A and B are shown apart, each in its own frame.
Chain A
Amino acid sequence: MLHWPQPKMFPKNLFFIKLLILSLLLHVLGCFILLFVYLDYNPKALLQVSSAHSQAIVRVVSFSQKSKSRTSKAVASSGLNGHSTQSVAHSQKIVLKKTTATKKRLPKKKAVQKQKQLSKKGKNVPFKKQKEKVSVKSKSIEKKIDPVSQEEKKVEVPVQEVVEKTSQSVDQAVVEDLPLREIQEVSYQEFNFMQLQEAFQEAVARVWSPPAGMSQSLVCQVVLTVGWDGKLIEKRIEVPSDILVYDIAVEQALDEIEMPSELWGKSVRVAFKP
């Protein structure tokens, strides 16, 4: 019997193949982690949007800090620690905190290099002047966006500008400029979710009109699956209100609704309230 000769593998090639496989596995693992960390997979998150929200003013302010706890520390250091975060949550105006994108665009090294260059040239700008300049710039950065559901691109431009000149003192100055009662900190994911909610609220407002005199505690929860063409593939009452006219009014609204493009190809759980 003739043995087929096995291909000879050089140890060098073998090493590279093993390295390739290892790197591939690491990439897959990394992708999974990113998927679960950054994807807005938070089915329990409930953000209440009332009709008042649609007319709210959104102020865009950058924060170099990543987590909320850090931001609160910054607020505390700026001498505004008397305010509780709860009072912040009650506000109608929203401050967008853009964290992940800013970190990518501004490597720390560049900022350090710039500072070094300045110190070499002997241009030691006093801290107060810096702060004043920054506050002026930050004021120009703030842009009122009305309504909330405007395109995200418009929001991104001023953020980028801030990022180029940002430092911890900038953040403090911005925080000092804005009255804390009017600030609500939301993450990027939350902002996206709010935009989606706002778009859906707008679409529903046109068709959702329950009969008068319904109890304010009533809720009818529906699961909707929207196709890529914007048509409702599935509508299922998950938790009925047990009030016949109310559930029928919900079904009637779903018959007439035109799904906003933000929801195309997605599955949404909607709680209809009176």
Chain B
Amino acid sequence: MKIRIIICILVSVVTSHAVEVGARQTKKMGITIAQIGAESPLMKELAHTVKNDLAFTGQFELQIVQIDRIKKIHQVQSYAQYGPLMVALQEKSGKYVAEWRLYDTRTGKMIVGRHLAKSGKVARQWGHALANSLITELTKNDGPFCSKIVYCKEYPKQEKTDICIADYDGQHEHRIVSLNSFAIGPRWNADIKSPLIMYSEYTPLNVRLMMTDLKGNKSVATSFEGLNMLPAFSLDGAEAIVCLSAGGSSQLYRYAHDERAKKSRYTRLTKNDGNNLSPSIMENGNILFCSDFQTRSPQIYIMDRYGDNICCITTGGFCTSPSYSQKSGKITYSKIVEGYSQLMVYDISNKKTIQLTSDPVHKTEASWSPCGNYLLFSADNTKTKRLAVESLLTKERIYITDGSFRYSYPSWSPSYPEFPDLG
């Protein structure tokens, strides 16, 4: 009997584990900004603007270098000691300002490359636009770099107020209006092509609503009896809500312009005996506002576009100055917690509120950045009143003004594809 037994079993078992690891610390990522070719004032300004903008996010550590030409991969790899990424900027002529390329310094390979279009007349704006496209490539977040801020600058011990605009980081301040009286609540209209600023000015008779362009050409928007203030615009600019107190307490009115009759029409939205202030228009037409009509202590409410279905989103306390971000779908407001006005963030999607700040400084009049990742507010520690930007990503705060003046009522503009002409 033939016995044929062939046993050939080769088993190779590879254990496949799935391990989750979390970071215990964060680190700023190093990026090298390389100016390619001969050094020019334009390239220098571009490089420095990009450096400042990316450093503002608190996520990157940047340094600028000068390179004649990138010939070989090892040239890029030699900058790996400064960080894993390199942005190479090269000046271009014609309709493009420059060309930028993003390299991985570990491999020396190019990740992405773009041309920077020449939009507007201000070279700084090109740098901001470049930083905006870079941050989108790097983090998939939009940047606030192409936006502006407006605020009131009060002179100490003087009845004098300036309405000023500046870059998102408080740099390059430009005075729009100078008044020998008090002015409050400047707001941007939503028009990207022809930006206007509306603010309220104190007069002996009332507080009237004024309108000005960025060159300082101002005119009266509304001048009813009592308070005329804090206008809000829809994203498309078609609707506007304004606070008027002609009937006694401050009520919200919808503004519309009748082309046929060439008349302005105001429709009352709130019908209560409380004070209704700080409206914001949401993308679905609902209106966010602050009112004390129920509890005599200001609370935050949302109502529909016709003034019905009023819903309170806060649960007691002293809550003021709400602001809505269309990008993130979140609402911020100030609430007094243990004697200090703190910033709260309410998420509409899950109806949850978090307290963003807790330090002993009054934080008021918060305004969202167009990207929805930063909050601009006035920080008052009784001695100084400064403007600060708080990042919701890194939780870092940057004070963008000094303490020599009293800064208040900041408002963040939309992101401008072309820098507004300041005259």
Contacts and interface: CB of A to CB of B under 8 A. Distances in A.
B174 interface: no
A267 interface: yes
Nearest to B107: A251
Q: Tell which of B15, B24, B393 has the most Cβ of chain A within 10 Å.
A: B15
Nearest to B26: A212
A213 B104 contact: no
B7 A243 contact: no
B76 to A, nearest CB: 14
Contacts of B137: 244
B18 A243 contact: no
B59 interface: yes
Nearest to B21: A204
Given A17-B3, A252-B106, A269 B58 contact: no
A243 B1 contact: no
B27 A270 contact: no
A46 B84 contact: no
A13 to B, nearest CB: 10
Contacts of B9: 28
Interface in A179-218: 193, 196-197, 200-201, 204-205, 208-214
A21 B3 CA distance: 10
Given A39-B15, A51-B22, A196-B19, A212 B59 contact: yes
B138 A245 contact: yes
A161 B11 CA distance: 37
**A contacts with B: majority SS:** mixed
Contact of B59 (A35, A213, A252): A213
| Tier of interface size on chain B | 35 or more
A273 interface: yes
A188 B148 CA distance: 60
Contacts of B20: 46-49, 197, 270-271, 273
Interface in B2-21: 3, 5, 7, 9, 11, 13-21
A269 B18 contact: yes
Given A209-B26, A211-B60, A245-B138, A45 B106 contact: no
Interface residues of A, number: 51
B57 interface: yes
Given A41-B13, A267-B15, A245 B29 contact: yes
Interface string B157-182: 00000000000000000000000000
A244 B29 CA distance: 11
A255 interface: yes
B59 A211 contact: yes
A242 B22 contact: no
Contacts of B57: 213
Nearest to B2: A6
Nearest to A24: B7
28 contacts: A17-B3, A43-B17, A47-B19, A48-B20, A51-B22, A208-B23, A210-B23, A210-B26, A211-B28, A212-B26, A213-B58, A213-B391, A213-B393, A213-B394, A245-B138, A245-B139, A248-B29, A249-B29, A252-B84, A255-B106, A266-B14, A266-B15, A267-B15, A269-B16, A269-B19, A273-B20, A273-B21, A273-B22
Interface of B: 1, 3, 5, 7, 9, 11, 13-29, 57-60, 84-85, 104, 106, 111, 137-140, 391, 393-394, 396
Interface of A: 9, 14, 17, 21, 24, 28, 35, 39-41, 43-51, 193, 196-197, 200-201, 204-205, 208-214, 242-245, 248-249, 251-252, 255, 266-274
